[in-house]
A and B are shown apart, each in its own frame.
Chain A
Protein backbone atom coordinates (compact mmCIF):
# COMPACT_ATOMS: atom_id res chain seq x y z
CA UNK A 1 0.00 0.00 0.00
CA UNK A 2 0.95 3.65 -0.22
CA UNK A 3 3.41 4.85 2.34
CA UNK A 4 4.03 8.32 3.72
CA UNK A 5 4.55 10.74 0.87
CA UNK A 6 6.50 13.98 1.17
CA UNK A 7 6.98 16.77 -1.31
CA UNK A 8 9.07 18.27 -2.66
CA UNK A 9 11.96 15.80 -2.43
CA UNK A 10 14.44 18.63 -2.65
CA UNK A 11 14.08 22.35 -2.17
CA UNK A 12 16.71 24.98 -2.74
CA UNK A 13 15.81 28.54 -1.85
CA UNK A 14 17.37 31.83 -0.94
CA UNK A 15 17.74 33.04 2.59
CA UNK A 16 14.72 35.06 3.66
CA UNK A 17 12.20 33.23 1.49
CA UNK A 18 9.28 31.25 2.89
CA UNK A 19 9.00 27.52 2.18
CA UNK A 20 6.18 25.04 2.54
CA UNK A 21 6.73 21.33 2.92
CA UNK A 22 3.99 18.78 2.48
CA UNK A 23 3.31 15.41 4.09
CA UNK A 24 0.63 12.95 3.07
CA UNK A 25 0.42 10.27 5.80
CA UNK A 26 -0.71 6.69 5.47
CA UNK A 27 -4.49 6.56 5.25
CA UNK A 28 -6.09 5.98 8.64
CA UNK A 29 -3.04 6.97 10.67
CA UNK A 30 -4.14 9.41 13.36
CA UNK A 31 -0.67 10.37 14.58
CA UNK A 32 1.61 12.52 12.45
CA UNK A 33 5.08 13.78 13.34
CA UNK A 34 7.58 16.21 11.84
CA UNK A 35 11.29 15.89 12.50
CA UNK A 36 14.39 17.41 11.03
CA UNK A 37 17.82 15.93 10.71
CA UNK A 38 20.99 17.81 9.98
CA UNK A 39 23.89 15.99 8.35
CA UNK A 40 25.42 13.48 10.73
CA UNK A 41 23.03 14.38 13.52
CA UNK A 42 20.12 12.65 15.19
CA UNK A 43 16.43 13.27 14.66
CA UNK A 44 15.12 16.52 16.13
CA UNK A 45 11.42 16.44 17.02
CA UNK A 46 9.45 19.43 15.73
CA UNK A 47 5.69 18.90 16.10
CA UNK A 48 3.14 16.13 16.70
CA UNK A 49 -0.51 15.87 15.65
CA UNK A 50 -2.84 13.29 17.18
CA UNK A 51 -6.36 13.12 15.80
CA UNK A 52 -8.34 16.24 16.57
CA UNK A 53 -6.30 17.17 19.63
CA UNK A 54 -4.28 20.35 19.79
CA UNK A 55 -0.84 19.68 18.30
CA UNK A 56 2.24 19.41 20.47
CA UNK A 57 4.45 22.21 19.16
CA UNK A 58 7.09 21.93 21.85
CA UNK A 59 9.87 21.08 19.37
CA UNK A 60 9.46 24.01 17.01
CA UNK A 61 12.75 25.93 17.19
CA UNK A 62 11.33 29.42 16.61
CA UNK A 63 8.15 31.28 15.70
CA UNK A 64 9.25 31.18 12.06
CA UNK A 65 8.13 27.55 12.05
CA UNK A 66 4.49 26.52 11.92
CA UNK A 67 2.52 23.50 10.84
CA UNK A 68 -1.04 22.53 10.26
CA UNK A 69 -2.92 19.38 9.49
CA UNK A 70 -6.11 19.79 7.53
CA UNK A 71 -8.94 17.32 7.90
CA UNK A 72 -6.80 14.99 9.96
CA UNK A 73 -4.80 13.98 6.92
CA UNK A 74 -2.33 16.07 4.91
CA UNK A 75 0.07 18.25 6.87
CA UNK A 76 2.13 21.24 5.80
CA UNK A 77 5.19 22.60 7.58
CA UNK A 78 5.91 26.24 6.83
CA UNK A 79 9.18 28.00 7.49
CA UNK A 80 9.09 31.77 7.15
CA UNK A 81 12.09 33.99 6.46
CA UNK A 82 14.39 31.00 6.07
CA UNK A 83 17.89 31.08 7.52
CA UNK A 84 20.93 29.04 6.52
CA UNK A 85 20.71 27.04 9.75
CA UNK A 86 17.31 25.78 8.57
CA UNK A 87 19.11 23.63 5.99
CA UNK A 88 18.39 20.00 6.86
CA UNK A 89 16.31 17.01 5.87
CA UNK A 90 12.73 17.39 7.08
CA UNK A 91 11.12 14.05 7.82
CA UNK A 92 7.45 13.30 8.31
CA UNK A 93 6.18 10.13 9.96
CA UNK A 94 2.75 8.71 10.72
CA UNK A 95 1.46 5.89 12.90
CA UNK A 96 -1.95 4.36 13.67
CA UNK A 97 -1.62 5.79 17.19
CA UNK A 98 1.14 7.10 19.40
CA UNK A 99 2.13 3.68 20.76
CA UNK A 100 2.53 2.07 17.36
CA UNK A 101 5.73 2.27 15.31
CA UNK A 102 6.12 5.21 12.96
CA UNK A 103 6.44 5.01 9.22
CA UNK A 104 8.63 7.66 7.65
CA UNK A 105 8.45 9.44 4.35
CA UNK A 106 11.54 9.90 2.20
CA UNK A 107 12.00 13.41 3.54
CA UNK A 108 12.47 16.83 2.00
CA UNK A 109 16.07 17.96 1.65
CA UNK A 110 16.03 21.72 2.24
CA UNK A 111 18.99 23.86 1.27
CA UNK A 112 19.08 27.56 2.08
CA UNK A 113 21.56 29.56 0.05
Chain B
Protein backbone atom coordinates (compact mmCIF):
# COMPACT_ATOMS: atom_id res chain seq x y z
CA UNK B 1 0.00 0.00 0.00
CA UNK B 2 1.36 3.43 -0.94
CA UNK B 3 1.99 5.83 1.94
CA UNK B 4 -0.22 8.55 0.50
CA UNK B 5 -2.86 7.79 -2.10
CA UNK B 6 -5.01 10.03 -4.24
CA UNK B 7 -7.46 9.38 -7.05
CA UNK B 8 -5.62 10.78 -10.09
CA UNK B 9 -8.89 11.82 -11.77
CA UNK B 10 -9.39 13.86 -13.81
CA UNK B 11 -12.42 15.32 -12.15
CA UNK B 12 -14.27 17.20 -14.89
CA UNK B 13 -16.83 19.63 -13.45
CA UNK B 14 -18.80 22.65 -14.68
CA UNK B 15 -18.24 26.12 -13.29
CA UNK B 16 -20.13 26.63 -10.06
CA UNK B 17 -20.03 22.97 -9.07
CA UNK B 18 -18.90 21.64 -5.71
CA UNK B 19 -16.16 19.03 -5.86
CA UNK B 20 -14.36 17.04 -3.18
CA UNK B 21 -11.12 15.08 -3.16
CA UNK B 22 -9.88 12.60 -0.61
CA UNK B 23 -6.36 11.58 0.24
CA UNK B 24 -5.61 8.49 2.34
CA UNK B 25 -2.43 7.91 4.31
CA UNK B 26 -1.04 4.74 5.81
CA UNK B 27 1.14 6.00 8.67
CA UNK B 28 -0.97 6.45 11.81
CA UNK B 29 1.82 8.57 13.32
CA UNK B 30 1.27 11.29 10.69
CA UNK B 31 0.86 14.68 12.28
CA UNK B 32 1.11 17.43 9.62
CA UNK B 33 -1.14 17.67 6.61
CA UNK B 34 -1.29 20.11 3.72
CA UNK B 35 -2.95 20.63 0.37
CA UNK B 36 -0.95 22.09 -2.51
CA UNK B 37 -2.01 22.99 -6.01
CA UNK B 38 0.21 22.57 -9.02
CA UNK B 39 -0.50 24.20 -12.34
CA UNK B 40 0.84 22.66 -15.51
CA UNK B 41 4.63 23.01 -15.75
CA UNK B 42 4.74 25.08 -12.56
CA UNK B 43 5.97 24.42 -9.04
CA UNK B 44 3.58 23.26 -6.29
CA UNK B 45 2.11 26.08 -4.21
CA UNK B 46 0.63 25.77 -0.75
CA UNK B 47 -3.15 25.94 -0.82
CA UNK B 48 -3.88 25.34 2.83
CA UNK B 49 -2.83 23.49 5.94
CA UNK B 50 -5.22 20.91 7.37
CA UNK B 51 -6.05 21.17 11.05
CA UNK B 52 -7.60 18.54 13.28
CA UNK B 53 -10.80 20.51 13.74
CA UNK B 54 -11.12 21.24 10.03
CA UNK B 55 -10.58 24.63 8.48
CA UNK B 56 -11.99 26.82 5.78
CA UNK B 57 -10.45 29.43 3.51
CA UNK B 58 -13.01 31.09 1.29
CA UNK B 59 -14.41 28.49 -1.09
CA UNK B 60 -12.02 25.82 0.17
CA UNK B 61 -12.62 23.53 3.16
CA UNK B 62 -10.11 20.99 4.44
CA UNK B 63 -10.87 18.22 6.89
CA UNK B 64 -8.91 15.52 8.68
CA UNK B 65 -10.30 12.15 9.70
CA UNK B 66 -7.69 10.48 11.89
CA UNK B 67 -9.78 7.40 12.61
CA UNK B 68 -10.05 6.54 8.91
CA UNK B 69 -6.70 8.12 8.04
CA UNK B 70 -7.70 10.47 5.31
CA UNK B 71 -7.85 14.17 4.58
CA UNK B 72 -10.29 15.87 2.27
CA UNK B 73 -10.53 19.05 0.24
CA UNK B 74 -13.87 20.54 -0.73
CA UNK B 75 -14.11 23.27 -3.34
CA UNK B 76 -17.37 25.17 -3.59
CA UNK B 77 -18.53 27.31 -6.52
CA UNK B 78 -15.72 26.07 -8.78
CA UNK B 79 -14.00 28.61 -11.02
CA UNK B 80 -12.19 28.00 -14.29
CA UNK B 81 -9.02 29.11 -12.51
CA UNK B 82 -9.36 26.21 -10.06
CA UNK B 83 -8.27 23.85 -12.84
CA UNK B 84 -5.02 22.33 -11.59
CA UNK B 85 -3.58 19.26 -9.92
CA UNK B 86 -4.17 19.09 -6.17
CA UNK B 87 -1.48 17.39 -4.11
CA UNK B 88 -1.86 16.21 -0.54
CA UNK B 89 1.19 16.14 1.70
CA UNK B 90 1.59 14.17 4.91
CA UNK B 91 4.44 14.31 7.43
CA UNK B 92 4.82 11.67 10.12
CA UNK B 93 6.17 12.28 13.58
CA UNK B 94 9.36 10.48 14.48
CA UNK B 95 11.70 9.14 11.85
CA UNK B 96 13.11 11.50 9.29
CA UNK B 97 10.16 13.92 9.03
CA UNK B 98 10.25 13.79 5.25
CA UNK B 99 6.92 15.04 3.88
CA UNK B 100 5.29 12.51 1.60
CA UNK B 101 3.47 13.82 -1.44
CA UNK B 102 0.54 12.12 -3.09
CA UNK B 103 0.59 11.80 -6.89
CA UNK B 104 -2.13 14.43 -7.15
CA UNK B 105 -5.73 14.71 -8.32
CA UNK B 106 -6.39 16.53 -11.57
CA UNK B 107 -9.33 18.95 -11.65
CA UNK B 108 -10.72 20.42 -14.85
CA UNK B 109 -13.40 23.08 -14.51
CA UNK B 110 -15.21 23.79 -17.77
CA UNK B 111 -17.58 26.61 -18.77
Cβ–Cβ contact B43 & A91, under 8 A: yes
Chain A contact residues: over half helix, strand or loop, or mixed? loop
Contact sample, A vs B, 10 pairs, CB 8 Å cutoff: A42-B101, A42-B102, A43-B44, A48-B98, A56-B96, A98-B97, A100-B32, A106-B42, A106-B43, A107-B43
A50 vs B95: C-alpha distance when bound (angstroms): 13
Quote the shortest CB–CB distance from A111 to chain B (angstroms).
Answer: 14
Interface residues of B (CB under 8 A from A): 31-32, 34, 42-46, 49, 87, 89, 91, 96-104
Quote the shortest CB–CB distance from A100 to chain B (angstroms).
Answer: 8
Cβ–Cβ contact B87 & A99, under 8 A: no
A104 vs B101: C-alpha distance when bound (angstroms): 13
Interface size on A, residues (CB 8 A): 22
Fill in one digit per residue for A20-54: 1 if any B CB lies within 8 Å of its CB, else 0. Answer: 00000000000001010000011101001010000
Answer whether residue A58 sits at the interface, using C-beta atoms and an 8 A cutoff.
Answer: yes
Cβ–Cβ contact A104 & B104, under 8 A: no
A58 vs B89: C-alpha distance when bound (angstroms): 18
Contact of A105 among B43, B97, B102 (CB under 8 A): B43
Q: Which residue of B lies closest to A55 (CB)?
A: B96
Complex interface: chain A residues within 8 A of B100 (CB): 45
Q: Which of B44, B99, B103 has the most CB of A within 10 A?
A: B99
Cβ–Cβ contact B45 & A50, under 8 A: no
Fill in one digit per residue for A78-113: 1 if any B CB lies within 8 Å of its CB, else 0. Answer: 000000000000010000001111111111000000
Q: Which residue of B lies closest to A100 (CB)?
A: B32
Quote the shortest CB–CB distance from B49 to chain A (angstroms).
Answer: 6
Q: Which residue of A lies closest to B104 (CB)?
A: A42
Quote the shortest CB–CB distance from B37 to chain A (angstroms).
Answer: 12
Q: Which of A33, A42, A99, A104 has the most CB of B within 10 A?
A: A42
Q: Which 8 A-B pairs have the closest CB atoms?
A: A98-B97, A42-B103, A104-B43, A43-B101, A99-B32, A101-B46, A56-B96, A101-B34
